[in-house]
Structure 1
């Protein structure tokens, strides 16, 4: 006969096991992503300003997936549903005006659950352009089965300032002329309470402006690359609402022809100078190349580009926030009594066994005098680079202000360090034949925001006066009258 106490104990144990299994199963289920409790996130741009023309972008995201979302205008306590477009863009905080938009929809249920995307809001019907602000309510629900299978929902209201006025933009003064390969100055006024971006473009390259003299005025040196025939300079001002103003810069444009030459390559040159430089750089072994031509191309094209990139970085990163009250520059003359061995802009095609195998553009001035000649700094500045740089060999870059830098290459020795603040007319190095140099000389380049420009202009006192000093003085006189 069974003992009733044993039977009762067995039932209790079985009941406890069932409870533990039930609790454990519940904990396991609730720990799954399908029961996660993290609410979706809603993000708008830092400055909530809208021009009512472009779509206003809103980013919605969730740690698992978004199921649905909606947007409404809150007006006089009423909730008015708005049409929404999904924005297909590359970056996270998308820019609606540059993106592809899906059809307008309300109360969207996402057909394929997605973790993050942007939506664009169109101008609500009835909202006038002169409105000061509007209030939007955004609601997003994720795919979680939490909250009795309803999911997690985030609802937020945003006060959006309305700004449909373009920035005021006008050129105050600029250099009269710019030569292909050369530089020019521009000073302009840009005013907008929500001003966000100022860009100067020449149709190929972009340049940064700095605050000048008084509030609302800006100054910049720009360049016309020797590599580009077309030149369409203009200033673009954009505010945080997306309003854009454009002002052309009226330079007289002068084309310039640069020297064109063909240089035959010899085995002794490739086996000597070029191969030695490959070994000195140390990134590749000579055994990796299939031919002597490939060795030369590696130096003349690959290493040349690396050298350009390194110098560009050192010369293009500068303070654009501090106010420029004046800018004084003297003509550069880095090597006393130096003879010109090669000029800026020389185009060189290289042949091997009568075939053209590579090309390059010489973007500086080669000067030579005696071996180990002293290199003189003619204008004060800050050292931003002092190292071995590929084809340039031992190199120094000095920043002189207003985006203007100078490069001194192929040096033997250096008397300065990165970060040094230098006075004018001091010795900074000695010439040499490091890098891709065929004899002791100085390679001297002038750079505007990292781009190499025609040196001759910056070595000419008359050009500096007409194109830099006089333009600054004229701009100040005009600004003082405004």
Structure 2
């Protein structure tokens, strides 16, 4: 009996141990702490380095990174490099919206660029997993890197002679590099993205000098994947311009009428949520105006960077027999009961003829915005190519919609008084990569010929002779 009892006890203990080990095994296999995925190492496609600054690599693991080492070998001797944490924005080759890892900045090696044309970076990474007897999962990655110290070739081919404050200009240039990465144009405050032009290695861009920018300093920046940067100045003759200044007295009837009804139409806030009449006006003139400008700018900057073979644009004339009611660039100061309460800049041209007059598209284009937009009311934005758009606001009713292709001479809508408007009229504007510019230039066929058409023709002639 005693032997049987001991035998039964041993079986129970054995069963318990089996259950324990099976349960432990299942726990290990299913536990996140024992995950078996190796760390991921990422770099830019076809990585290159100019050895003037840091080189960036991206590390990611489900359980986190426990240790990492970066080295390279020369003459069979391993040299370790310092790797420090960097902002995720530095690892621009990674989609940061879906990735969640760390970016490392690798210090440059102490070697002469004359002695080396490529470098094999050795990256060793261990994660925090308890797999492999608590030692973690390991990744060993060899990253061949091209050593590139040559800057991109950058040269202006042709450009508009002058640019006026508030106005536009055109530039065509050459940018070449085997590892060309980014090209941008700056006016000193704002950036513009060029498009490929005519033949390989050439680019074209309109750029603006926004009315509220006090200075203008145009430069082209070209960088390659190794971090080499070339800068070329664009020698425009920059002309400052004074715009009209107007003082407008606000009345209670205006705020209680048009302004209050627009607040209710927008529906974002109730009239009772404002402390006084001035705050109602400031909400429309400042908050809703800012929202409207950003909304329109977003629509006007979302354009394809397609190759430009040629660009034909006609002088804009959207309303027949129209009178100018308000000009571009007007700086308005609003006064209520003798005190200055708000400001605004009128960044278009107000035209009026008869009520609900037909609005004509002077150039072919695509409708990229058809919406009620704050102070602008019913608004259309047409994209004409080369980063150039036109805006038509306060419409009674648009006759085209988003995605429609509009031909030159087509009627696209009728004037009205929707939004912040005291009477039936058209607010017309022109935008260069989302920046509102001096409308008068784009309504002048001679200006277009001298600053757009002839510049493109000259550039083509130069390129063909090279």
User: What pairs with 1:224-373 in structure 2 (closer than 5 Å)?
Assistant: 224-320=209-305, 322-373=306-357
Deviation of 1:34 after TM superposition, in Å, equals 4.0
Do structure 1's residue 66 and structure 2's residue 50 form an aligned pair?
no
Distance in 2 of aligned mates of 1:466 and 1:425: 24
1:207 aligned to which of 153, 173, 192: 192
**Match of residue 174 from structure 2:** 189
**Match of residue 97 from structure 2:** none
Deviation of 1:465 after TM superposition, in Å, equals 1.1
Distance in 1 of aligned mates of 2:33 and 2:311: 64
Deviation of 1:127 after TM superposition, in Å, equals 4.9
Distance in 2 of aligned mates of 1:384 and 1:22: 65
Secondary structure, counterpart of 1:91 in structure 2: helix
**Match of residue 101 from structure 1:** none
CA contact (8 A) 1:94 1:118 kept: no
**Match of residue 450 from structure 1:** 434
Distance in 1 of aligned mates of 2:373 and 2:180: 39
Distance in 2 of aligned mates of 1:411 and 1:29: 67
Deviation of 1:12 after TM superposition, in Å, equals 1.5
**Match of residue 444 from structure 2:** 460
CA contact (8 A) 2:88 2:103 kept: no
Deviation of 1:340 after TM superposition, in Å, equals 0.6
Distance in 1 of aligned mates of 2:427 and 2:39: 58
Secondary structure, counterpart of 2:292 in structure 1: helix
Deviation of 1:36 after TM superposition, in Å, equals 3.0
CA contact (8 A) 1:84 1:119 kept: no
Do structure 1's residue 132 and structure 2's residue 117 form an aligned pair?
yes
CA contact (8 A) 1:87 1:94 kept: no
TM-score, normalised by the number of residues in structure 1: 0.91
**Match of residue 35 from structure 2:** 36
Deviation of 1:264 after TM superposition, in Å, equals 1.2
Do structure 1's residue 21 and structure 2's residue 5 form an aligned pair?
no
Distance in 2 of aligned mates of 1:93 and 1:204: 25
* Mean CA deviation greater in 327-336 or 36-45: 36-45
Deviation of 1:61 after TM superposition, in Å, equals 2.5
Secondary structure, counterpart of 1:82 in structure 2: strand
Deviations 1:186-237 (A, max 9, x none): 0101011111101001011110101111111111000001011111110000
Secondary structure, counterpart of 1:64 in structure 2: coil
Deviation of 1:130 after TM superposition, in Å, equals 6.4
User: What pairs with 1:423-438 in structure 2 (closer than 5 Å)?
Assistant: 423-438=407-422
TM-score, normalised by the number of residues in structure 2: 0.94
* Structure 1 residues 242 and 400: alpha-carbon distance in aligned structure 2, compared to 1, 3 A threshold: same
CA contact (8 A) 2:88 2:102 kept: no
Distance in 2 of aligned mates of 1:434 and 1:196: 45
Structure 1: gaps of 5 or more residues: 96-114
CA contact (8 A) 1:75 1:135 kept: no
CA contact (8 A) 1:410 1:442 kept: yes
**Match of residue 111 from structure 1:** none
Aligned length: 460
Aligned-residue CA RMSD (Å): 1.8
Deviation of 1:11 after TM superposition, in Å, equals 3.0
**Match of residue 383 from structure 2:** 399
Do structure 1's residue 160 and structure 2's residue 145 form an aligned pair?
yes
Do structure 1's residue 85 and structure 2's residue 83 form an aligned pair?
yes
Structure 2: gaps of 5 or more residues: 94-99
Secondary structure, counterpart of 1:293 in structure 2: helix
**Match of residue 52 from structure 1:** 51
Deviation of 1:385 after TM superposition, in Å, equals 1.1
Distance in 2 of aligned mates of 1:316 and 1:237: 21
Distance in 1 of aligned mates of 2:138 and 2:112: 28
2:161 aligned to which of 176, 188, 207: 176
CA contact (8 A) 1:196 1:239 kept: yes
Distance in 2 of aligned mates of 1:247 and 1:450: 24
* Structure 1 residues 411 and 47: alpha-carbon distance in aligned structure 2, compared to 1, 3 A threshold: same
